[in-house]
Amino acid sequence: METLARKLIARAAGQSEVTTGDVVVCDVDLAMIHDSGGPRRVKPMLERLGRNVWDKDRVVVISDHYVPADSDETRAIQALTRQWVQDEHIDNFYDEQGICHVVLPERGHLAPGMFCVGGDSHSPTGGAFGAYMFGVGATEMAGVLATGSIWLRVPETILIEWDNHLGSYVTAKDMMLAVCGRIGMGGGRYQAIQYAGSAVRDLSMQERMTLSNMAAELGAQAGLIAPDDLTVAFVNEAGGTLSDDWRDYRIEIADDPADHLLFDAAALSPQIAAPHSPANAADADEFSDTNFDVAYIGACTGAKYVDLAAAASVLKGRRIASGITLKVAPASRQDQDRAVRDGVMKILEDAGAQFLPNSCGICAGYGDDRLAEDDVCLSSTARNFKGRMGAPGSRVYLASPYTVAASAVVGRMRDPRDLMGN
Amino acid sequence: MPRLWRFDETIDTDVLAPGKYMKSPLAEIAAHCLEAVRPDFAVSVGSGDVVLGTANFGVGSSREQAAEVLRHLGIAAVIAPSFAGIFYRNAINLGLPVFTLPDDLYQHPGLADGAELIFDFDAAALTLTASGEVLTLDPLPVFLRDMILDGGLIPHLEKRFQADIEEKGVS
Ligand code: SF4
């Protein structure tokens, strides 16, 4: 039986169908790179090959990791990025406009049916738009940029089905932490995940992006969601181009891939994952009253407009507890502007939030703003590996923006429903 | 005589290329390859040696150095019941032979740590020196085999572009 993953791969491979385990060569519709893994790494390899990018209009460059550039080394990386973009005549360059996985769809670069690669491990985010998108290393990216194609072993498919509907203050982030808790970080074994079910269809596009984004935490290659009217509305508003056949990219639950995991959204509680793995997730209740110092609303996973609005709905008319620092790094300039317009940023500010630039910020731990030794952070990001966000002795717990905001108000970790009543 | 290095624990990218040395040159990272589980590995390993691991070999980050160090140390092939996806791709793109093997073969008593053997890339097979027995691994798809033979993706593309130039008579 056809799965959405195989349909997308077959299209890119120019075949009527493909079989799991086949190695095929696919045409790439779009390649995205950022300042860290991008120009500075691929430039020497392209020079060795004597090639320029195969199609400048299919390459998108986004500076987000070394933003703000706060050292000579990072300023040099930004300068190299800007120069390379000019040399290659690439128009699709977003310089300090936000995090790549969020900027890419908001500027209309993704649409159902596409086959895309990204030079970043959270590239499965693109799957939320019904596109096959996955992350590659710098050598592979150089190959893609030189040829416009890439080899792929057609992966097995896992179906993750969410029945029923989420309760109040329970989000896509909680869904993913629960899946990580159940099947672990190697649970994806480089398969293509397909998300389906009523609770997935209920989600806004930005929440769907969180599901696809964290397919990376499961060890999957891709995290696909079938396009629907919401997808179409998003793509149109972003100025993207829809192909007529977008309705063909469906997920049939009856296709029944070998692995089919069923979850009940109605039974899901807000989740918290303890250091140092997303797989250490459990009901937020189990961490009730755990101390922490820094509340972080950031990253492609947890600081999109919907995430900022979720935090604001908890923080409205409240202030964070003394002893807690709340840092917010809105995922993109566009999302931040929207949050300014409708008062979300004002609510966060009045609650005591400090704002960071629209970039990877503390999530990547690349800049000066990092966690200090012994800091305990409750974070809306995707990963809590040891030392990732700062000093080796820092500890990171993962949760949804609701849970981070409510815990910041209480001063201890909490199920947001305790604060908000339910 | 080349030997087998058998690992019965999960080998992740941090064990292969420890984060602490990631800023250093490749040779330095390689000197610490697998030291967390086998301190003598980097100093004792010889050209032609084979690594046998457990399922999901190379799980972890996307760092290419995890595969690059094994090639640098002269490992002829990495063999495991299964590989983490990004590691598998990186290995092939860097020209490091990676092969899966069927479960019953994985249980073969001849595949003990330290066993002397010869790896044959073309035949995708191991010959056990002690018994002379030939163990056949899962064959690689031709496309991937050719890429490894060329030394990885970049040399493979160099060769392809060169062929294009010769064919068309232009540069
Ligand atoms: S915000 Fe974090 S997870 Fe997202 S791309 Fe940046 S570093 Fe990666």
Question: Distance of CA B19 to CAs A192, A368, B90, Å?
Answer: 28, 19, 17
| pLDDT band for position B23 (cuts 50, 70, 90) | low
Interface predicted TM-score (ipTM): 0.87
With a cut of 70, say whether residue B170 has pLDDT above it.
Answer: no
pLDDT tens string A122-171 = 999 999 999 999 999 889 999 999 999 999 999 999 999 999 999 999 99
Atom from ligand 1 closest to the CA of residue A361:
1
- So what CATH class is B4-139? alpha beta
Residue A182 parent element (H or E): helix A172-183
Cα–Cα distance, A156 to A21 (Å, whole number): 8
| pLDDT band for position B85 (cuts 50, 70, 90) | confident
Which of the two residues, A71 and A313, has the higher pLDDT score? A313
Q: Which residues of B touch A (CB under 8 A)?
A: 19, 56, 59, 61-64, 82, 84-86, 88-90, 93-94, 141, 143-144, 147, 152-154, 157-158, 161
All structural domains of chain B with their residue ranges: 4-139, 141-171
A419 contacts A409 by C-beta, under 8 angstroms: yes
Q: Determine the pLDDT at residue A255.
A: 61
Residue contact A221–B158, C-beta within 8 A: no
With a cut of 80, say whether residue B62 has pLDDT above it.
Answer: no
What's the burial of A209, exposed, middle or buried (CB within 10 Å: 0-12/13-18/19+)? buried
Cα–Cα distance, A127 to A111 (Å, whole number): 10
Residue B140: DSSP 8-state = P
With a cut of 90, say whether residue A25 has pLDDT above it.
Answer: yes
Cis peptide bond N-terminal to A276, omega within 30: yes
A134 contacts A212 by C-beta, under 8 angstroms: no
Spacing of C-alpha B147 from chain mean position: 14
Atom 1, ligand 1: residue with shortest CA distance? A299
Does the beta carbon of A122 sit less than 6 angstroms from any atom of ligand 1? yes
Whether A23 has its CB under 8 Å from any CB of chain B: the answer is yes
Record the tokens describing residue A151, joined without a space.
């080899």
Q: Which of B165, B28, B18 is nearest to A392 (CA)?
A: B18
Q: Determine the pLDDT at residue A367.
A: 81
Residue contact A139–B153, C-beta within 8 A: yes
Q: Determine the pLDDT at residue A256.
A: 59
Residue contact A137–B61, C-beta within 8 A: no
Q: If you search the block for the tokens 């053997």, which residue do you land on?
A: B117
Q: Which of A139, A134, A136 is nearest to A123 (CA)?
A: A134
Q: Determine the pLDDT at residue B171.
A: 43
Residue type at A291 in one-letter notation = N
H-type helices in A261-400, by residue range? 299-302, 305-315, 333-341, 344-350
Which chain B residues are closer than 8 Å to A140 by Cβ?
Answer: 89-90, 93, 153
